[in-house]
């Protein structure tokens, strides 16, 4: 009996996470996936290249919703996703992470009484000023299956009264990273193009609203990066919104090489060979650990507390790392297969 899963993605991290799960659906058999791209990341550098490099089929639907405020974007996505769900009649709606696309997919499905499965359920930064935190909480509370990357995430859900349908499956990003390193070895020329030698540079990214919406904080983050740039070469693939902000404000890092956004394989290979990572990205904090690279998170808290406790990550407000150890919670690279099996065996 065939099962139809409608997968909602819209941003770079979601394309990456969707790749191994889509492959697992195909390998499992009996699962038909319909991929819907909300359009949240819409230019080729932030969207198309990921589908090509990660061997994801082109989306069956592209809603082209972007360049709007939070309310308008989420509302437009809700409207269009509802139309797609009514037409496609899926058995499950699968969502990833914590973006506007995530919460729109969750709410549209819940209102149509379609069960929701959430990958990366249970993550909490406990900062309700972050739009991502609101999205996480709302998505989790309307989900039927909650796929947690860590035991901490399971505990967070239990604290909020959610225990049914909760599964610790490990982290799909580990699945992706293992494959990307192997593919990057032979395909990526990012180091050669930029004249870089392994372990002689750091990678930086900034895109979160908490850093880009406050001019004073943005200036502090840029100064922090400039200070690091005097210690070692820092390479910074620049998010389009961050580049526009730099141009508008005139606040630019010194001693930091700004480059265009990268495809996933190039970014994975650049990170794999770095000596450090400076970022406000939740995904890149974790990827740094998978690559065995220490990270400094340019935020006042992180949802990936395991990386801090295990000494691979620290907040920029903290001077030292904790003693370093391995993290077992993230699994062994088979999280995507577990997700496919659990969806296939769950009654809707």
Residues labelled catalytic: 207
Neighbour order of strands in the sheet with 202-205: 256-259, 234-237, 202-205, 276-279, 295-297, 313-315
Contact between residue 293 and residue 274 where contact means Cβ atoms under 8 Å apart? yes
Contact between residue 168 and residue 154 where contact means Cβ atoms under 8 Å apart? yes
Would the CA dihedral through 13, 14, 15, 18 be positive or negative?
positive
Secondary structure (DSSP) of 236-278: EEPPHHHHHHHHHH----SSEEEE----HHHHHHHHHT-SEEE
């Amino acid at each position: 009996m065939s099962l139809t899963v409608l997968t909602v993605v819209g941003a770079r991290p979601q394309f990456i996470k969707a790749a191994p799960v889509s492959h697992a659906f195909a390998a499992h058999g009996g699962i038909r996936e319909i991929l819907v791209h909300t359009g949240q990341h819409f230019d080729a550098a932030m969207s198309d290249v990921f589908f090509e490099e990660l061997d994801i089929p082109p989306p069956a639907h592209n809603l082209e919703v972007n360049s709007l405020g939070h309310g308008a974007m989420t509302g437009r996505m809700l409207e269009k996703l509802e139309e797609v769900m009514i037409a496609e009649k899926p058995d499950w709606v699968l969502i990833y992470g914590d973006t506007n696309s995530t919460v729109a997919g969750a709410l549209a499905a819940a209102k149509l009484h379609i069960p929701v499965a959430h990958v990366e359920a249970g993550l909490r930064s406990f900062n309700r000023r972050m739009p991502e935190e609101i999205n996480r909480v709302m998505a989790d509370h309307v989900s039927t299956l909650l796929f947690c990357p860590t035991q901490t995430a399971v505990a967070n859900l239990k604290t909020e009264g959610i225990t049914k349908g909760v599964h610790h499956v490990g982290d799909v990003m580990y699945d992706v990273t293992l494959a990307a390193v192997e593919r990057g070895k032979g395909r990526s020329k990012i180091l050669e193009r930029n004249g870089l030698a392994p372990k002689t540079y750091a990678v930086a990214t900034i895109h979160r609203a908490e850093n880009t919406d406050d001019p004073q904080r943005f200036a502090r983050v840029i100064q922090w990066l400039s200070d690091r740039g005097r210690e070692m070469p820092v390479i910074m693939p620049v998010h389009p919104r961050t580049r526009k902000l730099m141009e508008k404000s005139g606040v630019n890092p010194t001693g930091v090489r700004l480059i265009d956004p990268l495809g996933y394989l190039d970014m994975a290979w650049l990170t794999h060979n770095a000596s450090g990572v400076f970022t406000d990205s939740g995904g890149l904090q974790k990827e740094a650990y998978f690559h065995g690279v220490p990270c400094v998170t340019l935020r006042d808290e992180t949802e990936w507390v395991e990386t801090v406790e295990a000494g691979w990550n620290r907040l920029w407000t903290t001077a030292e790392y904790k003693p370093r150890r391995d993290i077992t919670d993230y699994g062994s690279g088979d999280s995507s297969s577990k997700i496919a099996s659990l969806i296939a065996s769950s009654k809707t």
